[in-house]
Structures are given as C-alpha cells and as structure tokens.
A = this chain, B = another copy of it.
C-alpha cells in the first residue's frame, strides 16, 4: 500500500486554511490554485478542440484530490507509473487508472489484479502497459487467480512501442503484433491499443524539432497499427504525449489520448522550451516558498535546498518580486540555496525576505512533500485555500 495515504493532516496544517500566505512555514510547496485552474481549463479546451481524450499523468501530482479535479474538468482518467500509485488513486476514489509502465513481479501483479477488480466494482477500468510476452502471461495468471473468486473483471492492456525514448517498449512493427496476439489469448486481458511515448522529445527546445521528432513517432505508430489491423485486430486507441510535444500528437490524427501531466503545474525546464504557437499558454502554478536565513556581503542563503525541490532537470528559478529584485539561485546543497543579485540588481536579499522558487522539475519535487499548500488570490497577498495531500508520495513499488 502507498505509505503516506493514511497520515492524518496535523492540526497545525488544518489551522492554516484561511490564513494569509505569510503564515505558511518555509520551505513549503505551494500551489497557486487560480493558475492551476486556468491551466486545467486551457487543457480541457485544447482537448475539446482537437476532439482527443486526455488522461493526465498523476505521477506528477500524486494526489487523488487533484486527479478528481482533472476528472471533473473532463479527463477520462489518470495515468500512473507504479502499482502503489494506482493503489493511492483507487483508495482516493479515482477508478479509471492506467499504469503506463511494465510490471513484472508476480506479487505486484496480484496487487494489479486486485485493483482491476476494485476499479470494476466502482464502474472504473484499470489498464496497464506491457512490452514482453512473459509480462503478458504473468498478468494473465494474476488475473486468472483473482477471477477464481468468480469476478469476470477484464484489464485493458496497451502494447508499448519504443518510439525514440530508448527505454521500455518493443520495436515498432512485428514485435508489437506478436504481443497483441499473445494478449488476445487470455480472456481476462483486452488488447486496448498502443502506448507510444517519446520522453526525449519533451524538452527539445525548438518547436520545429519537436514536430520533426513526433512525425517519426507517428510513422512508427501508423506502421505498427496497420500491421496489427491487417490481422483483423482492432487498435482502439493510441496513447502517449507529454506537455512538451502534445500539440503534435493532438494534431496527428493517430493519437486518441494525451498523457501530458506537467501542464498543470509547469516547471522551469518546460518553461525553457520555446512555445509552439499551437500550445496553450500554461502558467507556473507550483512554487517553493522559502525564507532568507543568512545574509552576507555578496550573497544570501535561503532555507530551500534540493531536499525541497528536485534538481535533476536543473536548478530552480527565483520569482522576481519588487522587494527582492532579480536573483539567481545557486546550489547550496540539501538544505540551502545560495542567492545572488543578477546584473542590474544591487540588493543582496535580507534576513527574513520571502523567496519564491519555480522548481526545475515538478514531478520529483512534489514527491519530496507530504502535502502542498493551495493558495488563492496570489502568492504574495493571497490566502490558504486548502491543503492538498500528496497521497502517493514515496509510492515507489
């Protein structure tokens, strides 16, 4: 089971709701709820306009409360990467969950089968990706074991093809057809289509280069789909896309579902992409609130290091405020950030200054926190609207 689902919110946290942002302790992960809602509306509108499903990746926010917001806005479900994340979603009342990743361990597959059953009982549908015949057979065994109790639950199974990421997935073409055939041998499995996600294309800076990369993906998918359909097997859905490339998949006519997750919060790495004109203008909605705790002649130090925000995709950017001016963040280790005024700004931050950071990468940043503080009315003068629990924080298995 996911480790943090049942941790009660402390009384201190509950008391924070309704208070001014100034009352939020540092460092804390803060969500600008207004900006998040705008991002959500923009995504919903984009999907409607392109007549495409969206199943945002909950590996990013790990929160069933946010997943429910996404469903209300029109998402068909959520994606996750881990069985324990799926457990957190189902426990939180989210029943259309796609584990867009390979699961091999029989003990985990037993949990997947149990979840499929739980989801079906709530009129939901569990789905999973595969990239090996062995994985298909083990999944079928786990589902068979679960069905011995009498339930006729079916799990949706997507065949993952490697479209340039160089990670999981079979080679497009023949290998995918073989897996589709293998899936169809097993009654509790339904061949649901293809998973084709090109992770490496997401942060290619130029829109044209991203379009070029996804054009190749589309050819891989078309070729594979044709091969499978030639055997009389329908390919109901092609699923994939991230926030960086989603306009390309949406326009392809081949993809039926977008998995983009980061659009909801954005981060410094995605913001560094040159925006495709077709892309909605997503705003930053995730911040680390930090405080200056040491101030010297040439630099100051804030209380947020890389235990508060992930730096795998680069250091955070500092929000420029009138009080503090433009600042550069340098790595000060696990618990410290080093702040220097950049050209034009003469003012070294003072003790007590509030510093707002835009994390380099939202997904692993959220995973460092048990909760996010949802704020409305702006970062500086707003109020705490709600505490958003990160149900699946640390849900690794």
A residues whose Cβ falls under 8 Å from a Cβ of B: 1, 3-4, 6-7, 10, 12, 25-28, 59, 81-82, 101-105, 107-108, 131-132, 134-135, 162, 166-170, 199, 291-296, 299, 301, 304, 306-308, 310-312, 331-336, 338, 351-352, 363-364, 367-371, 393-394, 396-397
Contacts and interface: CB of A to CB of B under 8 A. Distances in A.
A107 B291 CA distance: 13
User: Chain A contact residues: over half helix, strand or loop, or mixed?
Assistant: loop
29 contacts: A4-B4, A4-B7, A25-B105, A25-B107, A25-B108, A26-B105, A81-B334, A101-B293, A102-B294, A102-B301, A104-B292, A104-B352, A105-B291, A132-B295, A135-B351, A162-B296, A167-B294, A168-B293, A168-B301, A170-B296, A304-B396, A306-B364, A307-B364, A311-B312, A312-B334, A334-B367, A368-B396, A369-B394, A393-B394
Contacts of A293: 101-104, 168
Given A3-B370, A4-B4, A397-B26, A104 B307 contact: no
A367 B167 contact: no
Contacts of A301: 102, 167-168
A85 to B, nearest CB: 9
B334 A363 contact: yes
A295 B364 CA distance: 25
Contacts of A352: 104-105
Contacts of A108: 25
B369 A166 contact: no
A132 B294 contact: yes
B82 A335 contact: yes
Given A7-B3, A132-B294, A311-B312, A334 B104 contact: no
Nearest to A131: B294
A1 B6 contact: no
A335 B197 CA distance: 15
A351 B4 contact: no
B10 A1 contact: yes
Interface centre among A12, A295, A331 (most CB of B within 10 A): A295
